[in-house]
Chains A and B, each alone.
Chain A
């Protein structure tokens, strides 16, 4: 099992640029979560999907943020335009159907917006 795969591992960009973060959940998992982690705010849930459908995006900070899950094996989190305050580690996690308790997290994407 390869686990949850996120790319890129690190991203450095300039303010105003578009940033796309990618996530491949564990095969067979039907829920996918995007979290953001900063020193100030800790781990925050941005959005999650069940069966490729967005269920709760109340954590998405602004319209600059958007997430998609076109199929069960791929999701993207896009920031357009990016701002320095978006700098954080972004984690993707997935969960198997019927398994309420176990989220499997990826290694994260360290985003730096200059």
Chain B
């Protein structure tokens, strides 16, 4: 699975959009981009995933560049409850050899401030 690079931490203001970058310059054509987050004292929580098209759900939007070498997770209106560590992961979809396992890196520690 391709490696990802994320800033170790970032702050954002409550009510504003939070834009979380992720670099995955070695991503291959069949690898998806996944985002999870981990709120303090909880298990990781799935947010969103995509291949090459932008994706949106109730939690966030995922913008993937045309060359797929980077992506941005957007939390449209950050709240204090969005304070968490956010993980960007790339992995092959349906790769039985890889066993469909997710490998978590260091993530970005996001602090939403009032």
Query: Per-position contact with A for B85-100: 1 when CB-CB < 8 Å, else 0?
Result: 0000000011000011
The count of chain A contact residues (Cβ–Cβ below 8 Å) is: 22
State the main secondary structure of chain A at its contact with B: strand
- Bound-state CA distance A103–B47 (Å) is 10
- Whether B46 contacts A48 by the Cβ 8 Å rule is no
State the main secondary structure of chain B at its contact with A: loop
Query: Per-position contact with B for A87-103: 1 when CB-CB < 8 Å, else 0?
Result: 00001010100001111
Contacts of B105 in A (CB 8 A): 42
Q: Nearest CB to that of A95 among chain B residues? A: B100
- Bound-state CA distance A100–B49 (Å) is 11
Query: Per-position contact with A for B70-107: 1 when CB-CB < 8 Å, else 0?
Result: 00000000000000000000000110000111111110
